[in-house]
Each structure stands twice: as C-alpha cells, then as structure tokens.
C-alpha cells in the first residue's frame, strides 16, 4: 500500500474507532500481541483508576516552582503524556479537577480520598507522579518510566546527589 494511502487508511480507522489504534505510530505493535504499552494507577481508596498508554514524553524530576506550588513537594517526579494518552478508566464520577487560581495548571484528584492522580500543565499534558506508579505497581517502574534527569535544577530547593544529568 503506498504510504499516502496507508496514512488515509489509518486516519479513517482513527475516525471510526479512536480507541482502536494508538495515536503514536512508533509504538504500534511494539510489544508482542499488544498494540501499545499500558499501565494503571489508582488512588488510595481504589475508587479511581487511571490508565496511561504508550511511553511518557518526559520521565524526569522537575525542580520548578510551579510544580512545588501546585503539589507541595520539594520537586516533582514527572511522567508526562499528551492528554489523550492518560484516561480515567474507573470511577469517573469520583474525579474532581481543581484549576489553580493563577497558573494554567490543574490538580485532578479523587473526591473520596483526596489522592492526586495527575496534574496538568500549561501545554495540556497530563503528569502522573512516578511515586504513584511505584506505590500502585509493587514499587517497580516500567523501563520507559525511569527518570533520566533533573529539569530546572537551578531552581531547586534541595540538592540531589545522584548520577542523573542536571539541567
Ligand atoms: Zn480515592
Ligand atoms: Zn515543574
């Protein structure tokens, strides 16, 4: 099939069944028998489950003041995806979204137990904490989720003594 026809065919599939295909052609069929790599997190009470599809575009630690302000953490263990790669797959009615009063950021959390499931940034990305993945997946991180650096390290409030690149 010529590549332009193939692109049209893929587009038509996406239109008719948006859940059928991964949006990122690079990871289609990457794992044996599955279209994409998916992982789940859930809140402490278990009411809400969130599914992440494909590899995160950022998997690092963020030392910026926005993350600190939004989440009250010294630095954020960021796993960031495009919005359509992170979906609530259980407990939609328990999900609450808080829009930060001055920043283009939100906290999305369980209205029952208060656990933040992800936050969003000004680009509309959905950011899941590595810590949440760890505690809901037997303290193991998938390979593509492992942190590869520290971002905005010059804005830090704590020094980090590890071998990861700092920028
Ligand atoms: Zn909960
Ligand atoms: Zn940040």
For residue 95, report the distance from its CA to the centre of ligand 1, in Å: 9
Based on the fold, state whether residues 31 and 41 are members of the same structural domain. Answer: no
For residue 89, report the distance from its CA to the centre of ligand 1, in Å: 13
Question: What pLDDT, on a 0 to 100 scale, did the predictor assign at position 73?
Answer: 97
Q: What is the pLDDT along the chain (167 residues), one digit of tens a residue?
A: 455 554 554 444 344 333 333 333 333 334 443 457 999 999 999 999 999 999 999 999 999 999 999 999 999 999 999 999 999 999 999 999 999 999 999 999 999 999 999 999 999 999 999 999 999 999 999 999 999 999 999 999 999 999 999 99
Question: Hey, how many other C-beta atoms are within 10 angstroms of the C-beta on 11?
Answer: 11
Question: What pLDDT, on a 0 to 100 scale, did the predictor assign at position 53?
Answer: 97
Question: What pLDDT, on a 0 to 100 scale, did the predictor assign at position 35?
Answer: 53
Instruction: Report the SS3 class of residue 26.
Output: helix
Write the secondary structure of 114-153 as one string of H (helix), E (strand) and C (coil).
Answer: CCEEEEECCCCCEEEEHHHHHHHCCCCCCHHHCCCCEECH
Phi, psi of 84 (to 5 degrees): -80, 0
Q: Is residue 164 part of a domain?
A: no
Which of the 8 DSSP states describes residue 57? Answer: S
For residue 121, report the distance from its CA to the centre of ligand 2, in Å: 9
Based on the fold, state whether residues 4 and 50 are members of the same structural domain. Answer: no
Based on the fold, state whether residues 81 and 16 are members of the same structural domain. Answer: no
Give kind and range of the element (H or E) at residue 58: strand 58-62
Instruction: Report the SS3 class of residue 89.
Output: strand
Q: Please count the residues of the chain.
A: 167
Q: Is residue 8 part of a domain?
A: yes
C-beta of residue 102 within 8 angstroms of C-beta of residue 142:
no
Based on the fold, state whether residues 23 and 43 are members of the same structural domain. Answer: no
Q: How far is CA 157 from CA 14, 81, 126, 132, 149, in A?
A: 45, 26, 24, 22, 16
Question: What tokens does 94 get?
Answer: 């328990």
Based on the fold, state whether residues 62 and 108 are members of the same structural domain. Answer: yes
Instruction: Report the SS3 class of residue 129.
Output: strand
Q: Is residue 161 part of a domain?
A: no
Q: Is residue 48 part of a domain?
A: yes
For residue 1, report the distance from its CA to the centre of ligand 1, in Å: 48
Question: What pLDDT, on a 0 to 100 scale, did the predictor assign at position 1?
Answer: 46
At which residue do the structure tokens 């859930």 appear?
A: 42
For residue 47, what are the domain limits? 37-155
82: nearest Cα among 109, 120, 45, 134: 120
For residue 149, report the distance from its CA to the centre of ligand 2, in Å: 13
Based on the fold, state whether residues 84 and 139 are members of the same structural domain. Answer: yes
């Amino acid at each position: 099939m010529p590549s332009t026809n193939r692109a049209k065919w893929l587009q038509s599939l996406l239109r008719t069944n948006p859940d059928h295909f991964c949006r990122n052609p690079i990871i289609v069929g990457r794992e044996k028998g599955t279209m994409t790599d998916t992982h789940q997190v859930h809140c402490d009470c278990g009411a809400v489950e969130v599914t992440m599809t494909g590899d995160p575009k950022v998997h690092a630690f963020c030392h910026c003041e926005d993350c600190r302000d939004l989440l009250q953490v010294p630095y954020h263990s960021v796993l960031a995806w495009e919005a359509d790669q992170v979906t609530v797959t259980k407990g939609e009615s328990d999900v609450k979204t808080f829009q930060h009063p001055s920043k283009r950021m939100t906290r999305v959390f369980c209205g029952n137990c208060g656990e933040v499931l992800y936050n969003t940034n000004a680009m509309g990305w959905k950011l899941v904490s590595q810590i949440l993945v760890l505690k809901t997946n037997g303290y193991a991180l998938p390979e593509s989720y492992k942190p590869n650096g520290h971002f905005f390290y010059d804005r830090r409030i704590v020094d980090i003594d590890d071998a990861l690149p700092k920028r």
